[in-house]
Structure 1
């Protein structure tokens, strides 16, 4: 009996060596003391579907993080951003049930323009104190907390 129990206990241990690991970039778009928050569409994983995030995506082979973010913002929002305007704000590692993600979050000053939602369900511009009112993906929560406390993010833009 105890041998059988031990065998089943071993089967319950999750093998994390095969877990998918992603490197992604996120743009914290800043304009007139507001921050752009984009709502994800329905996706493969319910735990991130319809949650808010900072726009961005995967870093492709041969790309720098800044190059990836410029490409992703053009693809997702039709927003053109110059690499030299991007400033690394935070790096977050987070483990979801099905994958692990490292997110490089950049402050991204932009002119207030109309964005085109090509991949997101919706988007809103909010002040930093309103960030906590939205339903965010878990990986972004440490950045949300930091932004809500950081009055300097709009300085020098």
Structure 2
């Protein structure tokens, strides 16, 4: 999870799962691997698709593809963000999440409760 300033107050400095826009010719899984490396200087492996979220903010819409991923290390380097946290799924509700990310948080919490 990361936070960063944003031109829209309703998502500025809220926690979000890392990621970014799909580039031409990329799959969503390739995008998350590239974005994590660009934003966090971290290498990850996509294990499986988790949830696709379509959310309409007041000024734009977003389609987010989320994945369960693994990494050999928790070491990272922030390049675009002001904060990050490593959390267990049962700690996720404590953060102030961007609205589009809340469905992912809810599904993660439900899966650990089962």
**Is the pair's TM-score, using the shorter chain for normalization, greater than 0.5?**
yes
1:120 aligns with 2:81: yes
Structure 1 unaligned residues grouped into runs of 5+: 1-36, 153-157
Return the alpha-carbon distance in structure 1 between the equivalents of residues 90 and 29 of structure 2.
27
Structure 2 unaligned residues grouped into runs of 5+: none
Return the alpha-carbon distance in structure 2 between the equivalents of residues 79 and 62 of structure 1.
22
Q: Is the 8 A contact 1:66 1:86 kept in 2?
A: no
1:96 aligns with 2:57: yes
Match of 2:30 among 67, 70, 88: 67
Report matched runs for 1:21-100 at 5 Å: 37-39=1-3, 41-82=4-45, 85-100=46-61
Return the alpha-carbon distance in structure 1 between the equivalents of residues 90 and 73 of structure 2.
19
Query: TM-score, length-normalised on structure 1?
Result: 0.68
Structure with the bigger percentage of strand = 1
Q: What's the RMSD between the two structures over aligned residues? A: 1.3
Return the alpha-carbon distance in structure 2 between the equivalents of residues 128 and 68 of structure 1.
23
Cα displacement (A) at 1:87: 0.9
Would you say how many aligned residue pairs link Structure 1 and Structure 2? 113
- What do the CA deviations read for 1:86-126 (whole angstroms, capped 9, x no partner)? 31000100000011111000011112331101111110111
The match for 2:103 is 142
